[in-house]
Amino acid sequence: MASLIPCPHCGKRPKEEFTVKGAVLDRPAADATPNAWMDYVYLRDNPRGRYDEYWHHTSGCRRWLVITRDTATHEIEASRDAALARE
């Protein structure tokens, strides 16, 4: 039912405030190969364990976050603002 997501801006907040988008992937360059684009748009790993995902604090600060969580235990290891996570 309930779990809390740590937002780097707002602190721990109920997961109902967030929207999950999915895997954090590097967007290929416009001239990347069709295969690179197919992988980016359609291909997803389904790991058991550590996974980086984009989460949006939709009903909060409206920042996009990179959340590192364990898909088996649901433990959240890290949470960063998506803009800073790229640096």
Partner 1 sequence: MTSYRLESGGLIDRQSRLSFTFDGKRMLGFAGDSLASALLANGCQLVGRSFKYHRPRGILTAGAAEPNALMTIGQGGRTEPNTRATMQELYQGLEAASQNRWPSLDFDIGSFNSLLSPFLGAGFYYKTFMWPAAFWEKVYEPFIRKAAGLGKASYEKDPDTYEKAWAHCDLLLIGAGPTGLAAALTAGRSGARVILVDEQSMIGGSLLSDTARIGEASATDFVLTAKAELESLSNVTILTRTTAFGWYDGNVFGAVERVQKHVAIPNAKAPVERLWRIVAKQALLATGAEERPLVFGGNDIPGVMMATAMRSYLNRYGVAPGRQVAIFTTNDSGYALALDLEARGIVPVAIVDSRAGGNPAYTGKARIVKGAVVSDAKGGKALSSIVILKDGRTENLKVDALAMSGGFSPVIHLACHRGGKPVWSDAEAAFLAPQQLNGLQIAGAALSTGNGIAACLSEGAAKAAVLVSEMGFACTAASFGAVEGDMSARPEKPLWSVPGVKGKAFVDYQNDVTRKDLGLAVREGYGHVELAKRYTTSGMATDQGKLSNINAIGLLAEARGISPGDVGTTTFRPFYTPVSFGALAGAYHGTHFQPVRKSPLHEWAKKTGAVFVETGLWYRSSWFPRDGESTWRESVDREVLNIRKNAGLCDVSMLGKIEICGKDSAEFLNRVYSNAFLKLPVGKARYGLMLREDGMIYDDGTTSRLSDEHFFMTTTTAYAAGVMNHLEFCAQALWPDLDVRLASSTDQWAQMAIAGPKARTTLEKIVEEDISNAAFPFLAAKEVSLCGGQLHGRLFRISFSGELAFELAVPAGFGESIADALMEAGREHGIQPYGVEALGVLRIEKGHVTHNEINGTVVPGDLGFGKMVSQAKPDFIGKAMVGREGLVSADRPQLVGVLPLDPKTSFRSGSHILAKGAAATLENDQGYITSSAYSPHVGSTIGLALVKSGSTRHGEEVLVWNGLREEFTPARLCNPVFVDQANEKLHV
Which of 8, 17, 23, 37 binds partner 1 (CB under 8 A)? It is 37
Place of tokens 């997961």: 15
Q: How far is the CB of 46 from partner 1 (least distance, A)?
A: 18
Helix H or strand E encompassing 50: strand 50-56
Which of 39, 56, 60, 78 binds partner 1 (CB under 8 A)? It is 56
Q: What are the residues whose beta carbons fall under 8 Å from the beta carbon of 55, sequence distance 6 or more?
A: 5, 18, 19, 20, 21, 64, 65, 66, 67, 79
List interacting residues with partner 1 (CB under 8 A).
Answer: 1-4, 12, 14, 19, 21, 27-30, 32, 34, 37, 40-42, 54, 56, 58, 62-64, 74-76, 81-84, 86
